[in-house]
Structure 1
Amino acid sequence: MFKDICKLLLLYLFITPATAEWNTLEYSRREHSLTKPYQASGMALPYWDFLGSTIVTSNYVRLTPDLQSKSGAIWNTHPCHTRNWDLQVQFKVHGKGKDLFGDGFVIWYVKERMQSGPVFGSKDYFNGLAIVMDTYSNHNGAHNHQHPYISAMINNGSLHYDHDRDGTHTQLAGCEAKFRNYNHDTYISIVYKDDTLIVSTDLEGKNAWKECFRVENVLLPTGYFFGASATTGDLSDNHDIVAIKMYELDLLETQKKDEDRSQIVPSAQTFDAPRTRIEDTKPAMSAVMTFLWMMFIALVLIVLVVLGIMWYQKRQENSRKRLY
């Protein structure tokens, strides 16, 4: 009898961890997820469409190759009617560039899908949420952050994403995140729960999330689409999506179960929209540039003086000839 009880206890100890792990995945939404193997038949992706330069391989979906002037995107075919969700994306950004690279990619939750445009390969003046993964190292304007940089933007269709200012005049929040050219897997988690947006990363291969930023009082409607797009310009990178996993999160007790959120206008309480565009002040000339300009001016003055002396000597010589 005692042996039987021991066996049952051991069996329970072995089964419990497996059950706990399984329960963490029971809210996984297959229709919003992308996992290997990707291809069902031919180049078709279950629940996903793609456009532009996007190619599907056995190990990743490449939005852009490491070539100039490329643009690609992947879009979920099913709208998300879940109120609270966690979107986890495994990605890889890599290329030949060590000091110069770009441009970056965006993870979307928006009303409009499958529309090419100037915002990292997708539509400007969008409705919804953009998580911008900006890698353009030679960034525009004077900012107090380095690149790569992750930021969030909420748009109700009236705002323009300003590439000339890296979107800093319309972002909700952001953080520096060096996610290029890693040999190990890199991940980003986008959690939207109880009107709070939380973006975290796992870039160091530690299997642990590190919070990038958190923004409260963010309103997003249900019925929008998940997607990802990328673009390259004069600078380039490979932008690869390895996996997308979407998890439905439980409603909190404070949330109304039957509330219709499909008509909510995307907004954030801390968002000052639209912000006035402020031109960046021109940076002061560096010491090297100042020295080069002074050298150039000095050479010009020397040339002018030499020409003046030559002209004066020639004039004096002509005057002497006339006297004789």
Structure 2
Amino acid sequence: MRENMSVISLLLLIVGILESFAAEWNTKDYMKREHCLVKPYQGTGMTMPYWDFMGSTMVTNNYIRLTPDIQSKQGALWNSVPCHVRNWELQVEFKVHGKGKDLFGDGFVIWYAKERMKAGPIFGNQDYFQGLAVILDTYSNHNGAHSHQHPYISAMVNNGSLHYDHDRDGTHTQLAGCEAKFRNVEHGTHIAIRYEKDTLTVSTDIADKLGWKQCFQVNEVKLPTGYYIGISATTGDLSDNHDILSIRLFELDLPDDPKDQEDRSQIVPSAAFYDAPRERVEDAKQSGMSGIKLFLLMLVGALALIACVVIAIMLYQKHQENSRKRFY
């Protein structure tokens, strides 16, 4: 009996030691609940703890719909607590779906931005923002000879001076991108945005295989702490349902990171590398005539044709009148 008690005591001691090590190892590498949003979404009344929503956003028991499948809608969801984590991974489960078969849009953006709740033209958020935008674009406006299909995921880092150019699908300011066929998938789809030691990595799980597939990775990306996490979506002439199912942010435990204790609150967002811009068809054909010029030219031609017809009729009538006078 004493031997059994000794064995049990030894096992309990080992378990206790392992638990203490595990507790110490997990002090930082865990989910930050103030930056997460999981079911059930509702708090008291129509509010959600740590989150605000605006525009057409609708909260249900199973999803948060930023926009319905209706034209000209904007919706956004913003964390009310600034994120002071140095190294983090943000995981978002979402669904984009609608009735459109060939034409649909526009898409949504996952933000890590200095300002929150600012409606604007960039997928429902302001232009000239400061921070990081991961853009999930479902609509190609065909303004250029793109080497990729849509839906398309890309990233943009802005210090407040850059304009997101919808006419070029943002290709002149993107860090990197990849195709991702996440639209009209029956199950929830996932994206992971990992910011670790100034390296930005975006991965997806579109096939629901519980495994990440890297979309792109960009080094030397500088992001400050104290910015806000948000998601916004928009529809225009085309539309889709943009649904958010869950948001989870994990703080990464990187004891070997020499910059882990560095004050990052005042740095300016920046990136050392950008994708080479892809030229539009219009860029290569500057001699092409604009629609207004073509319309004016056609109008002048039509007026000239009408004037010629009127003059011809007048000359013909004058000729007939002169002929009658000679006859009499």
Coarse TM-score class (shorter-chain normalised):
0.7 to 0.9
Residues 151 and 175, structure 1, Cα contact 8 Å, conserved in 2: yes
**Counterpart secondary structure, 1:121:** coil
Residues 40, 95 of structure 1: alpha-carbon distance in 2 compared, 3 angstrom cutoff: same
Structure 2 match to 1:169? 172
- Identity over aligned residues, as a percent? 69
Structure 1 match to 2:290? none
Residues 93 and 190, structure 2, Cα contact 8 Å, conserved in 1: yes
Q: Which moved more, 1:134-143 or 1:176-185?
A: 134-143
Mapping 1:56-205, distance limit 5 Å = 56-205=59-208
**Counterpart secondary structure, 1:36:** coil
1:245 matched to 2:263: no
Per-residue Cα deviation, 1:69-94 (whole angstroms, up to 9, x for no partner): 00000000000000000000000000
CA apart distance, 1:27: 1.1
Residues 171 and 278, structure 2, Cα contact 8 Å, conserved in 1: no
* C-alpha distance in structure 1 between counterparts of 2:86 and 2:145, whole Å: 38
- Counterpart residue identity of residue 102, structure 1: G
**Counterpart secondary structure, 2:69:** coil
Instruction: Provide the alpha-carbon RMSD of the alignment.
Output: 3.5
* C-alpha distance in structure 1 between counterparts of 2:214 and 2:278, whole Å: 29
CA apart distance, 1:143: 1.1
Structure 2 match to 1:226? 229
* C-alpha distance in structure 2 between counterparts of 1:169 and 1:111, whole Å: 22
**Counterpart secondary structure, 1:230:** strand
Residues 194 and 255, structure 1, Cα contact 8 Å, conserved in 2: no
- Counterpart residue identity of residue 39, structure 1: Q
- Counterpart residue identity of residue 198, structure 1: T
1:36 matched to 2:53: no
Structure 1 match to 2:301? none
Per-residue Cα deviation, 1:5-56 (whole angstroms, up to 9, x for no partner): 69x98xx99xx9xx98x96996100000000000011210110001000000
* C-alpha distance in structure 1 between counterparts of 2:197 and 2:28, whole Å: 20
TM-score normalized by the length of structure 2: 0.78
Structure 1 match to 2:295? none
- Counterpart residue identity of residue 122, structure 1: N
* C-alpha distance in structure 1 between counterparts of 2:44 and 2:188, whole Å: 27
* C-alpha distance in structure 1 between counterparts of 2:31 and 2:92, whole Å: 13
CA apart distance, 1:253: 1.5
* C-alpha distance in structure 2 between counterparts of 1:179 and 1:140, whole Å: 22
**Counterpart secondary structure, 2:203:** strand
Residues 32 and 246, structure 1, Cα contact 8 Å, conserved in 2: yes
CA apart distance, 1:166: 0.2
Structure 2 match to 1:291? none
Q: Which runs of 5+ in 1 are unaligned?
A: 283-317
Q: Which runs of 5+ in 2 are unaligned?
A: 286-319
Per-residue Cα deviation, 1:137-166 (whole angstroms, up to 9, x for no partner): 444322111000000000000000000000
Residues 230, 24 of structure 1: alpha-carbon distance in 2 compared, 3 angstrom cutoff: farther
* C-alpha distance in structure 2 between counterparts of 1:56 and 1:269, whole Å: 39
Residues 207, 147 of structure 1: alpha-carbon distance in 2 compared, 3 angstrom cutoff: same
**Counterpart secondary structure, 2:112:** strand
Q: Across the two proteins, how many residue pairs are aligned to each other?
A: 283
CA apart distance, 1:256: 3.0
* C-alpha distance in structure 2 between counterparts of 1:103 and 1:160, whole Å: 18
* C-alpha distance in structure 1 between counterparts of 2:236 and 2:246, whole Å: 25
